[in-house]
């Protein structure tokens, strides 16, 4: 079982003393090409490209200027401890044991506009580059074209080592579009999380994001390998809803 999740805009690069182990991202050569392109953008151009505030644009102009290889624990930090958005609030990686980190390293992947595909302990430097941004490069008009089939190829390498090659898609639609699902050599299960409201079960973004982290944590802490075991997920009031589950979309509801 292999989990994929999205990164977050919120970052925390304060020094950490939780884990000493680290790995280096597989696509730093490609990341460097994107950085070289982004360094040509001034604040106004970056503001227009990303549709962000001038302060965020300025921050990222500074980040791209400082970004440099080689990555070390002095200038970088493990990805799973750097991202701090809603998904990562649910994941609570700062509470993992060493065996949890080891399991996550083999069974969790983070999709990234800049880094392509990250393992939890891969070092990263601060950045902002959402997958849906239409950053033009030499032969590509956006990041989906830039990454092409490479992310699916790399996921297949990890899946091929597993007894049960199942991909648990806990990424957002924006990020999962970067994976050519037709190339994946695995079944894909997409959990959905819905809230009871006015007689219906609706998906509410902020809750769904945290729930994706909670589900990832559930898989990691329990060292799950069988997708059927996901039905036991009951964190923060969610329960498996067989009535709403259809095909490969596994629905969990609460309220």
Q: What percent of the chain has pLDDT over 70?
A: 100
Q: Is 90 exceeded by the pLDDT of residue 246?
A: yes
Q: Which residues, other chains included, contact 129 with Cβ-Cβ below 8 Å and sequence gap of 6+? A: 34, 38, 112, 113, 114, 135, 143
Q: What is the pLDDT of residues 79-88, one digit of tens each?
A: 999 999 999 9
What pLDDT shows up at residue 69?
97
Q: What is the pLDDT of residues 19-50, one digit of tens each?
A: 999 999 999 999 999 999 999 999 999 999 99
What pLDDT shows up at residue 50?
95
Domain ranges of the chain: 2-254
Instruction: Name the band, by pLDDT with cuts 50, 70 and 90, for residue 121.
Output: very high
Q: Which residues, other chains included, contact 131 with Cβ-Cβ below 8 Å and sequence gap of 6+? A: 111, 112, 113, 143, 144, 174, 175, 177, 178
Q: Is 90 exceeded by the pLDDT of residue 77?
A: yes
- What is the DSSP secondary-structure string of the chain? -EEEE---S-B--S---S----B--TTHHHHHHHHHHHTT--HHHHHHHHT--HHHHHHHHHHHHH--SSP-TTT-EEHHHHB-SHHHHHH-GGG--HHHHHHHHHHEEEEETTTEEE-TTBEE------TT-----SS-SSHHHHHTTHHHHHHHHHHHTSSS-EEEEES-HHHHTTS-GGG-SSEEEEEEEEEEETTEEE--HHHHHHHHHHHHHHHHHTT---GGGGGG--GGG-EE-TTT-BTTEEEEEE-
Q: What is the pLDDT of residues 169-204, one digit of tens each?
A: 999 999 999 999 999 999 999 999 999 988 899 999
pTM of the model: 0.97
Structure tokens at 93: 């990686």
Instruction: Name the band, by pLDDT with cuts 50, 70 and 90, for residue 164.
Output: confident
Instruction: Name the band, by pLDDT with cuts 50, 70 and 90, for residue 158.
Output: very high
What pLDDT shows up at residue 65?
98
Q: What is the mean pLDDT of the chain?
A: 97
What pLDDT shows up at residue 44?
96
What pLDDT shows up at residue 150?
98
Instruction: Name the band, by pLDDT with cuts 50, 70 and 90, for residue 133.
Output: very high
Q: What is the mean pLDDT of residues 60-71?
A: 98
């Amino acid at each position: 079982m292999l989990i994929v999740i999205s990164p977050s805009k919120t970052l925390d690069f304060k020094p950490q003393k939780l884990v000493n182990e680290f790995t280096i991202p597989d696509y730093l050569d490609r990341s460097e090409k994107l950085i070289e392109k982004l360094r040509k953008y001034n604040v106004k151009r970056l503001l227009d490209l990303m549709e962000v505030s001038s302060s965020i644009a300025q921050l990222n102009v500074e980040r791209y200027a400082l970004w440099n290889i080689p990555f070390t624990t002095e200038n970088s930090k493990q990805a799973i401890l750097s991202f701090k958005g809603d998904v990562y609030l649910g994941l609570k990686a700062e509470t993992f044991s060493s065996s949890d980190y080891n399991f996550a390293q083999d069974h969790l992947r983070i999709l990234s506009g800049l880094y392509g595909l990250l393992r939890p302990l891969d070092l990263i430097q601060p950045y902002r580059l959402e997958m849906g941004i239409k950053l033009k490069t030499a032969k590509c008009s956006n990041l989906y074209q830039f990454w092409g089939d490479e992310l699916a190829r790399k996921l297949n390498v990890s899946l091929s080592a597993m007894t049960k090659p199942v991909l648990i898609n806990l990424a957002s639609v924006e990020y999962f579009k970067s994976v050519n699902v037709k190339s994946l050599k695995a079944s894909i299960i997409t959990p959905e999380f819905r809230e009871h409201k006015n007689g219906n079960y609706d998906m509410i973004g902020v809750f769904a994001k945290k729930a994706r982290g909670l589900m990832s944590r559930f898989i990691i802490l329990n060292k799950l390998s069988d997708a059927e075991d996901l039905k036991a997920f009951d964190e923060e009031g969610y329960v498996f809803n067989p009535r709403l589950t259809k095909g490969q979309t596994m629905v969990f509801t609460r309220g």
